[in-house]
Chain A
Amino acid sequence: MRIVINGDDKTFAQGTLSISELLEIENVSQPDQVSVQVNGEFLRSSLYGTIRLKEGDAVDFLYFMGGGR
């Protein structure tokens, strides 16, 4: 299955993936560290386990960055 992650095409052996599974494969150790956008819509983290990704979906992981001083 092909998914576009942060603008890059990636192919996965799995035929189906949830957001939680994708986060794990992509080494996002804590889901709380990112905000996830799928095809331009932000998802509530409570849906990460249930939403299934489809071929060609565009997923953005946007990391929280709290620094500035």
Chain B
Amino acid sequence: MRDFSEEELERYSRHILLADVGVEGQDKICAARVLVVGAGGLGSPVAYYLAAAGVGTIGIVDGDVVDLSNLQRQILHGTAEVGVPKVESARRKMAALNPGVQIETWQTMLCAENILDIVAPYDFVIDGTDNFAAKFLINDACVLAKKPYSHGGILRFDGQTMTVKPGESACYACVFHEPPPAGAVPACSSAGVLGAVAGMLGTIQAAEALKFITGAGTPLFDTLLSFNAKTMDFRKTKLKRNPRCRVCGGEGIARLRDYQPPVCDLKG
């Protein structure tokens, strides 16, 4: 086990006090490698809490620069960073919070060609993207690479998340099969989203990653958690892996393809 310094023991003391985490759990957190895809509404709280928690290596993928309209919810970025690449702005904030974590940045959009290489060195992946092409691509890549991951989606006052252990629990495609036709489902960029809803869902995803790493509790496997912030109704829907799933079932997929429109062409 890692030799924790006095300063680290102090910094992580509230984790160490938890019976389900302890020094052993914090040691696992410090050794973990998590990839956060998207440094936006979901990626911000996820990456910030993972950095605070001391996750040893955090990768961040985002090809965009900070826009003024992001600041209502993307709490990793500040007014002074408008125009700065999001991965750079994220790196500064996270390093200031916890200089002990290693931050790896990927200033690019994920696509079928690059995603497997990018996810390969990580233990857990967080989907914080804003479009179905990316969400399905991340699911497919995580199933192929057998990487556990957290799906997250938000819209207006609503959020949903599930945690996937490929080959064992239901994957995103078991539930949603394939991307909805273009225009059938509005995007946050046209329909809006309450900023705090991104925070609510992102912190759930961060908690799921930390639970997975430490083994504490039961991750949202085979479970879709959805909530509506207007009524504050939270609901868990039990799911079953679909043996005929297009991605993880029977034949499954052998290689990746880009969904339309390809993620590389999208602007957030």
Contacts and interface: CB of A to CB of B under 8 A. Distances in A.
Interface of A: 6-7, 30, 32-33, 35, 37, 40-42, 44, 60, 62-69
Contacts of B38: 68-69
A61 to B, nearest CB: 10
A68 B130 contact: yes
Contacts of B224: 62
A16 B154 CA distance: 34
A32 B184 contact: yes
Interface residues of B, number: 42
Nearest to B127: A68
Given A63-B226, A64-B185, 16 more contacts: A6-B237, A32-B180, A32-B185, A37-B237, A42-B177, A42-B242, A60-B237, A62-B176, A63-B158, A65-B160, A66-B153, A67-B188, A67-B193, A68-B38, A69-B43, A69-B70
B148 interface: no
B152 A64 contact: no
Contact of B175 (A30, A35, A67, A68): A35
A42 B174 contact: yes
B41 interface: yes
The secondary structure that dominates the B interface is mixed
Given A7-B235, A30-B184, A42-B175, A66 B240 contact: no
Given A62-B224, A66-B130, A66-B187, A40 B238 contact: yes
Interface in B152-191: 152-155, 158-160, 174-177, 180-181, 184-185, 187-188
Contacts of A67: 41, 130, 153-155, 187-188, 193
A39 to B, nearest CB: 10
B128 interface: yes
A42 B23 CA distance: 42
Contact of B74 (A30, A60, A69): A69
A62 B175 contact: yes
Interface string B91-107: 00000000000000000
B57 interface: no
B268 interface: yes
11 contacts: A33-B184, A33-B185, A37-B175, A41-B240, A60-B237, A62-B176, A64-B176, A65-B155, A65-B158, A67-B193, A68-B153
B42 A68 contact: yes
Contact of A69 (B41, B159, B237): B41
Given A40-B240, A64-B185, A69 B175 contact: no
B199 interface: no
Nearest to A43: B177
Top 8 nearest A-B pairs (CB, nearest first) are: A65-B153, A69-B40, A69-B130, A67-B188, A32-B184, A67-B154, A68-B42, A68-B130
A67 B192 CA distance: 9
A62 B242 contact: no
Interface in B99-135: 127-132, 135
Contacts of B268: 69
Nearest to A44: B177
A63 B175 CA distance: 10
